[in-house]
Amino acid sequence: MIEITRDVEKPNGIALSPDQRTLYIADHNNGGNRLSPSDPEPKRGAMRIYAFPLNDDGLVKGPRKILWISQGERQRRHAG
């Protein structure tokens, strides 16, 4: 096992591109569980999809890219 990032707060899924050249990691930090309506609103964190390019051996070969950020009503797409 090789650590590729410490930036992901609450990983919630991984996927490979069809050509197996990109590893995608979903980060879904919704702030935890709010067990009762009277509990304070949780502090939300990252809601992103990261993409990591892979080399022929399946190892990460370059810096990550953030593809999607969602913060409640505000959503943004990142290219490149």
Average pLDDT over residues 19-39: 84
Q: How many CB atoms lie within 10 A of CB 47?
A: 19
Nearest to 13 by CA among 43, 44, 47: 47
| pLDDT band at 69; cut points 50, 70, 90 | low
pLDDT digits (tens, 9 = 90+) for 52-66: 999 999 899 988 888
Q: Which residue reads 């590893």 in tokens?
A: 23
- Number of Cβ atoms within 10 Å of the Cβ of 78: 12
Following DSSP, what letter does each residue of 38-73 receive, concatenated?
TSPPPPP--EEEEEEEB-TTS-B-S--EEEEEEETT
Which pTM was predicted?
A: 0.70
